[in-house]
A and B are shown apart, each in its own frame.
Chain A
Amino acid sequence: MLTHKKTNVEELAENLGNQTPVGRSLWRDAMHRFSRNKAAMAGLVVMLLIVLFAAIGPFVAAWHYSDIDWGLMGNAASAGQPSIENGHYFGVDDLGRDLFARTVQGSQISLLVGTIGALIAVVIGTLYGATAGYFGGRIDSIMMRTVDILMSIPYMLFLILLLVMFGRSILLIFIGIGAISWLEMARIVRGQTLSIKNKEYIEAAVASGVRPFKIVLRHVVPNLLGVVIVYATLLVPQMILTESFISFLGLGVQEPQTSWGALINDGAGTMRYGTLWQLMFPLGFFIATLLSFFFVGDGLRDALDPKDR
């Protein structure tokens, strides 16, 4: 018995000596903490379901989002309520178009606007802020004063003017929202960079002769990513809200395409005729998305917070 055990231990020791264990990175630790946060996981599930809805919705829908069900046109209030039989799962809108297909289409646009806006903010804002913060001095002053000036322009006015001048198009909304969203990100990242810049591992990299831009990319940015990811998840709903507001004003996406904001606008307009489903379905998706993003963002912040470690 004893000798048997001994050989086992020896074997174990030998194996331990040979294998190269993979270390637990801080990301893995954070993921582990995140997966134990119930609210955040629920948010993540809802988020994935909504993305799934936007992705496979067109294949499920019985109608195309621009097709008009002529039989229901004009009597949406009396005959257009949600029903499984005629294929209008969410009912029809005021013109007799299938609301399910339109909600799917609106989800696609809104999620796209949100993620692309946040993505532009992350890429430009992070690089801009990290550069300004790391190099400091006059470069920092010039770069951050530029941000201040851009920020002082009322962005809604800017967006509206842009859309009025160049015509309504989804591309312009991407450009407009992207151009605005990175400003605040740049500020946050710069502040964070200033604290990272004085860490000893940056000093060690400088001492061993690493080039400044490599230091920014290899040492500063990876250590910023926690903050950036959290802020980006909170930025997505903000972008969706902005787009919704633009669409609500009637300046957003062009018919027959739609977005959550445009759908809510339509639904709110016809609310008093008793077609409540026209408001409630897009509104439900809108609120569920925002809440799920907020919960995921909160969960990420808790998981990535270095003070928790």
Chain B
Amino acid sequence: MTEHTQADHPNTIATDDSRKKLLSVRDLKVYFDIFPKGAMPWTKPRKLKAVNGVSFDLYEGETLGVVGESGCGKSTLARAVIRMLPVEGGEVVWLGQDLAPLKDKAMRNHRKDIQMIFQDPLASLNPRMTIGQIIAEPLQTHYPELGKAEVKERVAEMMKTVGLLPNQINRYPHEFSGGQCQRIGIARALVLKPKMIICDEPVSALDVSIQAQVINLLMSLQKKMGLSLIFIAHDLSVVKHISTRIMVLYLGNVMEVADSADIYRQPRHPYTQALISAVPIPDPKIERNKEVILIEGDLPSPINPPSGCVFRTRCPKADAKCAEHKPELVYAQGTHQVACHYHD
């Protein structure tokens, strides 16, 4: 890792030529129209700002963990990046091309490089299709010229790679356990040999022992195929295990972005500090004496977000400046970015 060499130049954008930048998201905004109850057809809808100006980069072969509490815009961000949701503003630059203004048809060609793994393993598989058909579908969509035998061979190979028996090819999704279903989902995402995979809480529906299996499978596949991952989760220990860098979201805004080890050792944003202090440590002695920072109150409504810093309503350090000026995401040290006026 070479990030620390830039420690002397805060506030400059870290450029590192040794790693290829795959994805570069700039000031991404995703708004939803909310019609108040009993609205007339001509009344202007209110905007729900699900993602409000998020910027980040993703380099080749790395894993970017995205964490934040429920409703902070993690999944919305992921879906907007792959254009499953309309983008209100900003850029999504994929290998030098902005995907945000593309028409659906043009976007479809890029989809073979960007795949997705979903939260509910069983619900993400069509119950009327055999798993052979499910895994073969992306192949047949993007390479219609492939013969039946070749498709079957590739599917069988992919099933072996993710740890499924190839003789289960004719079975249906409901005949598999949750962990196996997630393996099928992974096989479907990988069969096109994509460059990037978005994992939308891929393990939160599985129990802990299976979580470990799936995470380790993802990591070994990543190493083998040189994948980049965007890994969304709300379980911080899972994210720590898999991520190279971690991005913390709060109410559609980035709070902090840093290397995984860095952010756990020295969280700089008060929100991240609270999040990390809440992670249970599997040692009763340390756990008992640990200081937990409690955040009061609830997530404010994204329809009517607080002025200035969105976190100020629950922040222990907030003052008048936070209400007036929205803190920019700045380089605190090296590649450690934080959006707070009073960061540590």
Binding site for B on A (CB under 8 A): 17-27, 199-201, 203-211, 214, 218-219, 222-223, 309
Contact = CB atoms under 8 A, between A and B. Distances in A.
Contacts of B171: 21, 23
Contacts of A199: 123
A222 B127 CA distance: 9
Interface string B124-164: 11111110000001100110000000000000000000000
B215 to A, nearest CB: 20
B29 interface: no
Interface of B: 82, 84, 108-109, 111-112, 114-116, 118-120, 123-130, 137-138, 141-142, 165, 167-172, 174-175, 185, 188-189, 192
Given A20-B167, A24-B175, A200-B120, A207 B141 contact: no
Given A20-B169, A210-B138, 17 more contacts: A20-B167, A21-B168, A21-B171, A23-B171, A25-B128, A27-B128, A201-B124, A201-B125, A201-B126, A201-B127, A204-B185, A206-B84, A207-B116, A208-B192, A210-B141, A218-B129, A219-B126
B167 A19 contact: yes
B189 to A, nearest CB: 8
A208 B172 contact: no
8 contacts: A25-B172, A204-B118, A204-B188, A209-B111, A218-B137, A222-B126, A222-B129, A223-B128
A30 B240 CA distance: 45
A222 B114 CA distance: 27
A99 B124 CA distance: 58
Given A203-B118, A208-B188, A209-B142, A23 B172 contact: yes
User: Which applies to chain A's interface (DSSP): helix, strand, loop or mixed?
Assistant: helix
Contacts of B129: 218, 222
Contacts of A201: 123-127
A26 B170 contact: no
Given A23-B172, A24-B172, A211 B108 contact: yes
A143 B293 CA distance: 55
Contacts, number: 92
Contacts of A223: 126-128
A32 to B, nearest CB: 14
A18 B167 CA distance: 7
Contacts of B172: 23-26
Contacts of A206: 84
B232 to A, nearest CB: 14
A19 B165 CA distance: 11
A218 to B, nearest CB: 8
B15 to A, nearest CB: 31
A209 B108 contact: yes
Give the interface centre of A203, A207, A211 by most chain B CB atoms within 10 Å.
Answer: A207
A223 B109 CA distance: 27
A29 B142 CA distance: 33
B137 A208 contact: yes
Nearest to A306: B127
A219 B168 CA distance: 21
Contacts of A25: 128, 130, 172
